[in-house]
Amino acid sequence: MFTPNGIIALTTDFQADSFYIAEMKASAFKVAPQARLVDVTHSISPQSIAQASWVLLRGVEAFPLGTVHVVVVDPGVGTARRIVAAMIHGQVIIGPDNGLFDVIASRFRVEAVFEINNQVYYGDKWSSTFHGRDIMVPAAAHLVRGVPLDSLGEQVSRPLVATERSAAVLARVEENEIHGRFVYADSFGNSVTNIFARDIPEDWNPQAIRIEGAGQVVFGISSTYGEREPGELVALFGSSGQLELSVVQGDAAQKYGIQAEMPVKITHEST
């Protein structure tokens, strides 16, 4: 059972100065004037489903139980792709079923999924190009005002994310190597990977670890940026618990041309 806390968290690729954001908020307030709208980010790279999926993971980990997330990164808007509401980690995520859920469903158990096809809970006008305003946000607002999750549409019985897709999301851990990839760069240019702290075997010495990525090599995993000099490349686990390559007081993504999907390899030099 889902009990809303009144928060609707918005993530889009509209960019911060877009009037589309205000239109979505207005759509929410028409249904649930009491809703508390929070902007997670509107700076997802245009049509970058992969980046949005990793940002969504951080959002779900950060927000309290009962939050409704609306994620509008939807290159296929208006096509046959489904819009779903998935209950995961005690929160509901509303978005297009276009790969957006790959990361979150690989990290947390999916409690229930419903396709949003009950038009009673759509907005008062429908457009084939703005389902965020006309379907997703109104559905979220109805949840906030107490409409049961299963009223939004039909329950989806198949897995939200196929096993092979889930496996592709996670890093591959071998005996003395870990193979991963860069997944996004944050606003500081820190290049974040899909390698989590829990992926590192407990008996590995952090200072005997070699990280290769984007043509660069870093020896040792640091605890803070301040352990290296300004301008140096450093590897550390950031606030998300994911390994990142960063330039101290600089922009690693820009300096080294790091892009999402570039491979990263970690090796451990046994003593």
Residue 15 shares a structural domain with residue 144 = yes
Average pLDDT of the chain, as a whole number: 93
Residue 193 shares a structural domain with residue 216 = yes
State residue 163's pLDDT score.
73
Residue 17 shares a structural domain with residue 112 = yes
CB 9 within 8 A of CB 70: yes
Indicate which CATH number applies to the domain containing 153: 3.40.50.10790
Q: Is 213 domain-assigned? A: yes
Amino acid (1-letter code) at residue 144: V
Of 171, 196, 206, 193, the C-alpha closest to 253 is 193
State residue 120's pLDDT score.
97
Q: Is 188 domain-assigned? A: yes
Indicate which CATH number applies to the domain containing 195: 2.40.30.90
List residues bridging with 196 in a β-sheet: 242
Residue 174 shares a structural domain with residue 254 = yes
The number of folded domains in the chain is 2
CA gap 26, 129 in Å, rounded = 17
Residue 140 shares a structural domain with residue 235 = no
The last residue of a domain, from among 164, 188, 216:
164
The last residue of a domain, from among 135, 164, 193:
164
CA gap 53, 35 in Å, rounded = 24
Give the mean model confidence (pLDDT) for residues 127-150: 96
Q: Is 1 domain-assigned? A: no
Q: Is 2 domain-assigned? A: no
pLDDT digits (tens, 9 = 90+) for 220-250: 999 999 889 999 999 999 988 999 999 999 9
State residue 226's pLDDT score.
85
Query: Residue 147: pLDDT above 90?
Result: yes
Residue 12 shares a structural domain with residue 41 = yes
Residue 37 shares a structural domain with residue 71 = yes
Give the mean model confidence (pLDDT) for residues 155-183: 86
Residue 148 shares a structural domain with residue 198 = no
pLDDT digits (tens, 9 = 90+) for 93-113: 999 999 999 999 988 999 999
pLDDT band at 118 (very low <50, low <70, confident <90, very high): very high
CA gap 211, 12 in Å, rounded = 32
pLDDT digits (tens, 9 = 90+) for 9-40: 999 999 989 999 999 999 999 999 999 999 99
Query: Residue 77: pLDDT above 80?
Result: yes
Domain that holds residue 230: 170-268
Query: Residue 271: pLDDT above 70?
Result: no
Give the mean model confidence (pLDDT) for residues 69-97: 95
Residue 160 shares a structural domain with residue 179 = no
The last residue of a domain, from among 111, 129, 164:
164
Q: Is 52 domain-assigned? A: yes
Residue 56 shares a structural domain with residue 72 = yes
Residue 54 shares a structural domain with residue 155 = yes
CA gap 243, 216 in Å, rounded = 15
